[in-house]
Amino acid sequence: MNKEELQNIAFSIINEVGQAKSQALISFDKYQAGEMSKQDALKEIEQQLINVSKAGEHHLSVIQAEAAGGDIPFSVIFLHAEDLYISTTSQIEILIRMLRG
């Protein structure tokens, strides 16, 4: 895997995870403002967790490539994508727990 391929994967993760995070927070804000029911907000936020998990497949492909002996170049952009993926997963899981009570 070359640096350009890794950066393309990173930008894909950043895009997909960023959209999911935004949508989850919008749904939670709408719930708090009384513009969305708890059930609808929970359903939407759970869907965003699924979307984040799909982005995680890109992340996993890089991990698997390295585990198979591939040479993976260092990339700050990929590091950022990993951080965003992990933090967004945690944030969405917390929102779900808050709504479930």
Q: Does 80 participate in catalysis according to the annotation?
A: yes
Q: What was the pLDDT predicted at 58?
A: 93
Q: pLDDT band for 78, please (50, 70, 90 cuts).
A: very high
Q: What are the pLDDT digits (tens) for 42-74? A: 999 999 999 999 999 999 999 999 999 999 999
For the segment 3-23, what is each residue's pLDDT rounded down to a tens digit? 999 999 999 999 999 999 999
Look up residue 67 and give its two tokens.
């585990």
Distance CA 76, CA 69 (A): 21
The model's pTM is 0.91
Residue tagged active-site, from 80, 87, 90, 98: 80
Range of the domain at 8: 3-100
Could you tell me if 61 and 10 are in contact, meaning their C-beta atoms sit under 8 angstroms apart? no
What CATH number is attached to the domain comprising 94?
A: 1.20.58.80
When divided into structural domains, the chain yields a total of 1
Residue 96: per-residue pLDDT = 98
Cα dist from 28 to 33, 34, 62, whole Å:
9, 10, 32
